[in-house]
């Protein structure tokens, strides 16, 4: 692979990862105190998109970590 295409892949991973992390954080339920496990997990259980928000955060962080490999 050429240096230019590797740079584009790295930049795409960094930007897409950042955007996905922002979206995942926006969707994440955060009204309950995070130090109160019962309240936090009760809030997660009541939120129907908590799995999607956490997976979006995971993919975002993974893409940002991958950008350093290129």
Give me the pLDDT at residue 52, please. 93
Please report, to the nearest 10 degrees, the dihedral formed by the alpha carbons of residues 8, 9, 15, 20 taken in order: 160
Give me the pLDDT at residue 25, please. 93
Is the pLDDT at 1 greater than 80, yes or no?
A: no
More confident residue, 4 or 64: 64
Question: 66 near 15, Cβ under 8 Å?
Answer: no
pLDDT in tens, 12-60: 999 999 999 999 999 988 888 989 999 998 998 899 998 999 999 999 9
Is the pLDDT at 65 greater than 90, yes or no?
A: yes
pTM of the predicted protein model: 0.80
């Amino acid at each position: 692979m050429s240096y230019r295409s590797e740079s584009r892949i790295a930049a795409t991973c960094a930007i897409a990862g950042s955007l996905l992390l922002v979206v995942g954080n926006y969707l994440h339920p955060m009204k309950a105190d995070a130090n109160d496990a019962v309240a936090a997990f009760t809030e997660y259980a009541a939120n129907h998109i908590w799995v999607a928000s956490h997976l979006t955060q995971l993919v975002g962080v993974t893409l940002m970590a991958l950008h350093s490999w290129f």
